[in-house]
Amino acid sequence: MTDSSTQQTQIQGLQDLQQQAASLLLYQTVLENQIGQAFLYLLETLSLAPGAEQGDRLTPLRAYGHWFRALASQQQTWQTYLLTQLLRADNPFSQQAQRSSELPASLVAAAQHDLQALRQLYACDSQQLSTWVQLAAVLPTPPLSWEQVLPSGSATVEALSQSLIWTRLAANPRWDAALAELAAHYRQMGVGLFGTYHAFGWQGGNLVGIAHPDPIHLGQLTRYDAQKAALCQNTEALLAGYPALHVLLYGSRGTGKSSLVKGLLNEYAERGLRLVEVTKTDLRHLPQIVDRLRDVPQSFIVFVDDLSFEEDDDAFKALKVVLEGNLTARPPNVVVYATSNRRHLIREFLADRPRPSDADEIHNWDTVQEKLSFSDRFGLTLTFEPADQATYLAIVHHLAAQANLTLPPDDLDYRALQWATRHNGRSGRSARQFVDFLRAESAQGQN
């Protein structure tokens, strides 16, 4: 092929890609962040390069460097980036698809058009662009192409890459044929913020995604099997759309109450479970948070760790509204899971008890009973008793087996009991800290 025909083929290919990118009707946001904008700018510089002066031929090379760096900073290939943005897209089609299987024909047609346009952009790999840059910049060799696939910085991206819809799209030249499967993915996994993250916090009046949630899994937790089973059963009722109860996990410190709630997320995230952690200082925003989650098809656990209240605490009033409801109906997709070391969540003082005094409230016992009964407003209370020696050692052996530690059982028991005596007593937390210490000791001994 002559140089002129090669150049003409390159120009035609670039124009086709630019046309497909410009023709997007619903999925423009796929190309609106750093990587997408760098890609569009690279196409623009390449399309102008054939008629450029000698000094301007380096512009495509610089544009290629910006695009390469953007991919490397996200640890994604161009194909991985496009699929990730597509599966998390927040647009009129994805929003309606996650709520209903009945979609307007014009919306379906627009989505099908965009999917095929994105498929053509997906087919443009780094090697092709590298070759075009070589020709445009008159280089003896093409610049290095970004092909390395590294673990992404986000756990949700890793989960997306293992999904069936990801595999289907990656191997299918007709993305429009996978429209029904894509809509089903949006309904189950969410879009936008809720499709990007599985765990959230509340900051400055907004939900904020947590890119690296605690990786603890339920299989790593042993003992307290009855409590675990009850919590899982309640969570599965929530996911199935049945009435689910608010839950109070009460008991001794270090018994794994918080880990059990966090483990639910890793167990059920693929079924649409999301976790929203709310600090005690933000509990006054709880009604606002719940309203934000009301119309989202995913299921949410609002997680409050180490819960307790002072008298006349505004957070107490906000939580009471969410637990008991008001004129606004309780959303069926939201429950509150709270942990506490206190059975009675509101601090009570001896001075609160009724006594003859002109300054005392006449119906003081009513106030006392309200404080004592607040924990009863949780439909399910799970009690975590302190670990005895047998339970503590069982947890140690369970964690040691998972860590592939090979200490003799008697030696492991002896050292575990010594650890409990010298540190924080017998608990699941102490057991994990002890096993983490052994893992570090073993690794150092092998070096």
pLDDT tens column, 103-123: 999 999 999 999 999 999 999
pLDDT in tens, 143-175: 998 876 655 555 667 777 778 899 999 988 999
Q: How many CA atoms lie within 13 A of 304 on its CB side?
A: 29
| DSSP state at residue 309 | B
| Residue 196 identity | T
Residue 275 Cα to chain centre, angstroms? 8
Beta pairing class for 206-210 and 199-203: antiparallel
Name, in order, each residue with C-beta under 8 angstroms of 370's C-beta and a sequence gap of 6 or more: none
Nearest to 382 by CA among 339, 411, 440: 339
Q: Quick one: average pLDDT of 9-18?
A: 85
The pTM of the full predicted model, rounded to 2 decimals, is 0.77
Domain 208-384 grouped into CATH 3.40.50.300: yes
Concatenated DSSP letters for 327-395? SSPPPTTEEEEEEES-SSSB---GGGS--S-TTS-TTHHHHHHHHHTGGGGSSEEEEEPPP-HHHHHHH
Mean pLDDT of the chain: 84
pLDDT at 9 over 60: yes
pLDDT in tens, 29-48: 999 999 999 999 999 998 88
Angstrom distance (rounded) from CA 313 to CA 275: 25
Contact 149, 80 (CB under 8 A): yes
Q: Which residues pair with 384 in a beta bridge?
A: 251
Of 238 and 328, which is predicted with more confidence?
238
Of 228 and 101, which is predicted with more confidence?
228
Dihedral angle computed from the Cα positions of residues 17, 21, 23 and 28, in that order, rounded to the nearest 10 degrees: 170
Looking at residue 43, its pLDDT comes to: 93
pLDDT at 376 over 50: yes
pLDDT in tens, 276-295: 999 888 888 888 898 899 88
Maximum Cα–Cα distance across the chain: 106
Lowest mean per-residue pLDDT among 194-198, 219-223, 244-248: 219-223
Q: Quick one: average pLDDT of 313-325?
A: 69
Residue 78: both structure tokens together: 């161009």
pLDDT at 379 over 90: no
Helix/strand/coil for 158: helix
| Residue 202 identity | W
Percent of the chain predicted with pLDDT > 70: 83
Looking at residue 148, its pLDDT comes to: 61
Name, in order, each residue with C-beta under 8 angstroms of 113's C-beta and a sequence gap of 6 or more: 23, 25, 176
Helix/strand/coil for 307: coil
Task: At 170, give phi and psi (nearest 5°).
Answer: -60, -30
Of 68 and 346, which is predicted with more confidence?
68
Angstrom distance (rounded) from CA 35 to CA 42: 11
Measured from the Cβ of residue 62, the count of other Cβ atoms closer than 10 Å reads 14
Contact 232, 244 (CB under 8 A): no
Beta pairing class for 334-340 and 206-210: unpaired
Measured from the Cβ of residue 163, the count of other Cβ atoms closer than 10 Å reads 16
Q: How many CA atoms lie within 13 A of 197 on its CB side?
A: 16
pLDDT in tens, 321-374: 777 766 566 789 999 998 887 655 445 444 554 555 544 544 443 444 444 455
Using CB atoms within 10 A of its CB, is residue 251 exposed (0-12), middle (13-18) or buried (19+)?
buried
Nearest to 193 by CA among 205, 210, 213: 210
Looking at residue 368, its pLDDT comes to: 41
